[in-house]
């Protein structure tokens, strides 16, 4: 028996369009991002997939993407699970800064380590910053909230949540996860067995559903983007 999992990175946000490091800052979808979500719903409909379970982050750009898909697929009774563990990677003190300006100031090598490296977190956000998630009512009661993260840190929160909360649901449902570039990179690193070195090459396109077929051990049998014209190269299955 096989199980269907749909992963989707939220559509372009207003800060994606402005080339700004976003992280945990809660920005809206851009109009292009809304269009991407609408197209994603159409692509899912065309392959006759009807999600019966859904997960998303605490951030509204991922939630809005999922809401558009749910509405257009008429999944009125779909229960949505919200998890901060599926949030984007926290970009620390880089949040709110233009990526080109950061690259110019610190050099391309350091920029790439912060943006795509596995073990190098950006400089930490000041604890008194208004962007400190501890000050946001969304995260009330949650301890150990980050002030910066590398992808390895993101992996350490995404994968336990996958194992404990999502995987049991996936084994019984067609499941959709609407999340972010780095939380999905962390999950794909785990599912596709991507090395720390090779994960730097994995890019997740916005608004393009990735359909994954899993066996009962949650090992990947097949995987493909529903819009092949907007797809990045996927890792080899079981590499």
The residues annotated with a catalytic role in the active site are 10, 88
Cα–Cα distance, 166 to 55 (Å, whole number):
8
Picking from 180, 190, 178, 125, the residue whose alpha carbon sits closest to that of residue 152 is 190
The β-bridge relationship of strands 53-56 and 210-214 is unpaired
Cα–Cα distance, 128 to 135 (Å, whole number):
9
Helix (H, G, I), strand (E, B) or coil at 181: helix
Cα distance between the two ends of the chain: 22
Cβ(138)–Cβ(58) under 8 Å?
yes
What are the angstrom distances between the C-alpha of 24 and each of 19, 20, 58, 134, 168?
15, 12, 9, 11, 27
DSSP 30: P
Query: Based on C-alpha coordinates, what's the Rg of the chain?
Result: 17
Element (H, E) at 55: strand 53-56
Helix (H, G, I), strand (E, B) or coil at 219: coil
């Amino acid at each position: 028996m096989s199980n269907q999992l749909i992963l989707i990175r939220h559509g372009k946000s207003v800060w994606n369009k402005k080339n700004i490091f976003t992280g945990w800052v809660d920005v809206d979808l851009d109009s292009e991002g809304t269009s991407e979500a609408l197209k994603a719903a159409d692509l899912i409909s065309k392959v006759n997939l009807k999600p019966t379970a859904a997960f998303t982050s605490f951030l509204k750009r991922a939630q809005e993407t999922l809401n558009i898909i749910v509405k257009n697929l008429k999944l009125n009774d779909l229960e949505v699970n919200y998890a901060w563990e599926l949030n984007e990677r926290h970009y620390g003190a880089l949040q709110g800064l233009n990526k080109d300006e950061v690259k110019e100031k610190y050099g391309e090598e350091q920029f790439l380590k912060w943006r795509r490296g596995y073990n190098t977190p950006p400089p930490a956000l000041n604890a008194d910053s208004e962007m400190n998630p501890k000050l946001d009512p969304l995260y009330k009661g949650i301890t150990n909230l980050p002030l910066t993260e590398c992808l390895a840190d993101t992996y350490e929160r995404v994968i336990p949540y996958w194992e404990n909360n999502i995987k049991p649901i996936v084994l019984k449902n067609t499941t959709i996860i609407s999340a972010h570039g780095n939380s999905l990179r962390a999950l794909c690193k785990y599912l596709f067995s991507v090395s720390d070195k090779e994960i730097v090459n994995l890019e997740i396109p916005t608004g393009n559903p990735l359909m994954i077929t899993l066996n009962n051990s949650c090992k990947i049998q097949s995987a493909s983007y529903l819009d092949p014209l907007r797809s990045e190269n996927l890792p080899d299955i079981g590499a």
